[in-house]
Amino acid sequence: MIDDLEDLLKAAVVEVFGTMIGLQVQLEPPHAPVVNTGATIAGAVGFIGRVTGVVYIYAPVELAVRLTEKLLHLSASEIEQKELVNDSMGELANMIVGHLKSRLSDRGLSCAMTIPSIVRGTNFQIEPVSSTIRRVFSFRSLEHQLVVEIMLRPESQA
Amino acid sequence: MGRKILTVDDSRTIRLIVTRAFKDYDIDMFEAQNGVEGLAVAARERPDLIILDYTMPLMDGYEMLTKLKSDPGLKSIPVIMLTAEAGRESVLKIAKQGVRDYLIKPFREEVIVERVSRIIDLKPKGEATLKARRYDDALQILVVDDKQAIIGQIGSGLKDTAWQIEGAASTALAMESCGRAVPDVVLISLSLPENGAYTLFQMMRAGARTKSVPVFGLCVKTAVEEQARAQQVGFSGIITKPIDFEDVKLKLTRALGLDTSYKYFSQKDGVLVLQLPPTFNPTVASDILLHLRNQVTGAVDAGLDKLVIDMSPLKTADITLIKLGLSSLQLCSELAVKSALIGSEAVTKECKNYEETKDLRFVTSHAEALSVLGVQPAVA
């Protein structure tokens, strides 16, 4: 089940970025070092039900701005408010989790999604509690690293 | 009056993307962030269609839909549900409420346009907007040819323009490209395998976003039957190989209604100036004549009743130049516009050889032309 979830999550990232932004994201090799310095934005969407967990997508601010530019066909100077970048990252997380949720729902693992939330900062980490199942993937996009993390409650595993 | 579409989504990103999808259509877009606001806007504006998100704070899409369907004044407004949730249960739940269609995120803009076009008629924005494009705009040209050399040749041949050339080697790649961004014009090789050119043409004409894009066929000059077939099917025109790029520029300019008047007409010192380029030829003359009446009458409307025709860049006069000159002078006479001619020594001398132009007076500079017209030059 965990392996299947990993594949579903990776497929969701590729689908969302490819469809909405026209970007091919490259999955980095397993255990590729996760670089977490500099200003970062994390978009988070949770899901609760037969499967319970949360998905985070982390991007350096520069990447988040470029993704917003491409998503909205705006130039950097036209993106006046950081709220728009926050919103875009939240919506990308929303679509990734929605994609994942749909596949789970079709297998009888229904769950409801939360609305997106955003964390901004420099050199921060979001730590799970010890019993949480955690998987981290990194992708390459526009010469930056995009990190996707899923945390699951163990008793939700089928 | 344009049709009205209301987009209800808590994500400003999605609202912007949906609004952008319809920018080329005569549509008034309205937005709301949640179901409560959506109901208020719907009651006020009575949109022709609502694009409704499912998961929203305050009032979600399902609840808003339920309330819409229970309001006698709003229940007939068609709704397309836009949701990240594609599971069978969610879809069934939505369908039972009577949505006309649903779309799953992530989505491509052309898909949302196509789905909306099945419900309401989408008209492209008015002709006036389209014809405001200029020849020096960065137009997008999609060239579909399985021979990379042709794509490269077209890129080289048009490099003196601001036009952006994108190549696609097959029908499938061309449709992918159109999905990312609708080109301004498409050139398709009529020799694509398996009737690919005609398949692509039909697909473009069937798409809400691409149906108005001019499509030209590319083929060798001797392929007369292919040319006839393409014209019968409805291609906008034919470009034959070997490619005459001046001809291509003219055809695309005409197909897109590009404004080229700025290349020749300007206003200086309170007079309208028609400046002929050094590359003057029959094509340029034809182009100038297309704009001549509008430019002169426009100038008269604006209070300018004097025209300077500047032929000084030209070293020789030929029948094309003579005809253009005479047409211009005749128009000036008709509209009571005073005119002055600037010409090189060679052109002045050449004009003496023609009955119609032997009595014309030429000056050698803009300052002299102003003097002839009784105009004081503007102080620098």
pLDDT digits (tens, 9 = 90+) for B110-120: 889 988 887 88
pLDDT tens track for A44-76: 999 999 889 999 999 999 999 999 999 998 887
Q: Is residue B106 part of a domain?
A: yes
CB B284 within 8 A of CB B160: no
Average of per-residue pLDDT across B134-148: 94
- Indicate which CATH number applies to the domain containing B323: 3.30.750.24
Say how far apart CA A19 and CA B109 lie, in whole Å.
9
Q: Residue A30: pLDDT band by 50, 70, 90 thresholds?
A: confident
Which of B12, B88, B103, B166 should one mutate to test binding to chain A, selecting the residue with the greatest count of A CBs within 10 A? B12
To the nearest whole Å, the CA of A109 is away from the closest chain B CA by 10
DSSP code, position A32:
P
Write down the pTM of the prediction. 0.54
CB B216 within 8 A of CB B236: yes
Checking if the pLDDT of A157 tops 60, the result is: no
Which value does ipTM take for this structure?
0.86
Whether residue B285 is found in the same domain as residue B358: yes
User: Which residue has better confidence, B378 or B286?
Assistant: B286
Whether residue B240 is found in the same domain as residue B312: no
H or E element at residue B368: helix B366-373
Which of B56, B105, B108 should one mutate to test binding to chain A, selecting the residue with the greatest count of A CBs within 10 A? B105
Whether residue B65 is found in the same domain as residue B153: no
Show Cβ contacts of residue B235 under 8 Å, excluding neighbours closer than 6 positions.
B201, B215, B216, B217
Q: What residues of B are in contact with residue A90 (Cβ under 8 Å)? A: 11, 13
Checking if the pLDDT of A80 tops 50, the result is: yes
Q: Longest Cα pair distance anywhere in chain B, in angstroms?
A: 88
Q: Residue B93: pLDDT band by 50, 70, 90 thresholds?
A: confident
Q: Going edge to edge, which strands form the sheet with B140-144? A: B164-168, B140-144, B185-189, B215-220, B237-241
Q: Does A104 touch chain B (CB under 8 A)?
A: yes
Q: What residues of B are in contact with residue A113 (Cβ under 8 Å)? A: 55, 84-85
Q: Is residue B305 part of a domain?
A: yes
Checking if the pLDDT of A13 tops 70, the result is: yes
Checking if the pLDDT of A154 tops 80, the result is: no
At residue B271, what are phi and psi to the nearest 5 degrees?
-130, 155
pLDDT at A122: 86
Give the CATH architecture of domain A2-29+38-156.
3-Layer(aba) Sandwich (3.40)
Q: Is residue B161 part of a domain?
A: yes
Q: Does B85 touch chain A (CB under 8 A)?
A: yes
Range of the domain at B321: 261-373
Total domains present in chain B: 3
Q: Residue B342: pLDDT band by 50, 70, 90 thresholds?
A: very high
Whether residue B225 is found in the same domain as residue B159: yes
Q: Does A71 touch chain B (CB under 8 A)?
A: yes
**Inter-chain residue contact B106 with A95, CB threshold 8 Å:** yes
pLDDT at B379: 62
pLDDT at B129: 47
Q: What is the rounded average pLDDT for all residues in chain B?
A: 88
Show Cβ contacts of residue B88 under 8 Å, excluding neighbours closer than 6 positions.
A105, A106
Say how far apart CA B201 and CA B214 lie, in whole Å.
10
CB B109 within 8 A of CB B17: yes
**Inter-chain residue contact A16 with B16, CB threshold 8 Å:** no
**Inter-chain residue contact A94 with B86, CB threshold 8 Å:** no
- Burial per residue of B257-292, b for 16 or more beta-carbon CB atoms within 10 angstroms, e otherwise: ebbbbebbbeeebebbbbbbeeebeebbbebbeebb
Q: Percentage of residues in chain B with pLDDT exceeding 70?
A: 96
Whether residue B137 is found in the same domain as residue B160: yes
Which of A94, A97, A109 should one mutate to test binding to chain B, selecting the residue with the greatest count of B CBs within 10 A? A94
Q: Does B16 touch chain A (CB under 8 A)?
A: yes
CB B79 within 8 A of CB B103: no
pLDDT tens track for B204-232: 988 888 888 999 999 998 888 888 888 77
pLDDT tens track for B285-335: 878 887 898 899 989 988 889 999 999 999 998 888 988 999 899 999 988
- Indicate which CATH number applies to the domain containing B86: 3.40.50.2300
Q: Is residue B144 part of a domain?
A: yes
Say how far apart CA B195 and CA A105 lie, in whole Å.
42
pLDDT at B131: 47
Q: What residues of A are in contact with residue B86 (Cβ under 8 Å)? A: 98-99, 102
